[in-house]
A = this chain, B = another copy of it.
């Protein structure tokens, strides 16, 4: 029995409010338990320098937390004057993950920015960001298709992410903050709708883990991402045509 009463292979309650933001081309307010993230997709009609003239598009992400998303107030990165290592790591992860299911050469020379702003943090903010950003991105791309700017959707698969870890010796799915801070092993897994891995990031800083443990964690992650993708499908089916 886990701290919040869940079973080891149980996700927290997932909720997604589509089109949360008036101005964004696509957006979703995703809640995974008490973790809440606003994901907004913005389409910009140009690409970074290294892609200019290539005919290819780009997908990139930025991630931040409101100062009081956390238990005690966190200093803003704008006040510090620099983006921290953890933030950079997360936004690089989100961007890489989303690009893995987009045909950049079919996107045209435009950039899709995904802004993931954590309103409230209770563990798993980076995986909730990926799961929500996928939905925001699909909304934005769908709008481009409807507007005739794109001949068809350049998305090849569904994509969702979850965290898994070993808490008090038990491999568990979708850790909340309290579990996460006690976990010996911590892994983030990003998977596609066809069950392939896009990212596997496991770390055993406090306690190296065996191949058997790795397999148990990967199994839990598979179940979790399947259920998250089911939620995404529900939200996306109302996208209209």
Contacts and interface: CB of A to CB of B under 8 A. Distances in A.
Nearest to A197: B209
A67 B40 contact: yes
Interface size class of A (residues with CB under 8 A): 35 or more
A106 interface: no
Interface stretch (A21-29, A123-131, A233-241): A21-29
Contact of A40 (B66, B84, B89, B101): B66
B197 A214 contact: yes
Contact of A113 (B67, B88, B119): B67
A5 to B, nearest CB: 18
A192 to B, nearest CB: 5
A70 interface: yes
Interface of A: 21-24, 27, 34, 38, 40, 42, 44, 62, 64, 66-73, 76-89, 91-92, 96-97, 99-101, 113, 115, 117, 119-120, 122, 157, 187, 191-192, 194-211, 214, 218
Given A67-B40, A196-B209, A79 B92 contact: no
B192 A196 contact: no
Given A27-B68, A113-B67, A211 B205 contact: no
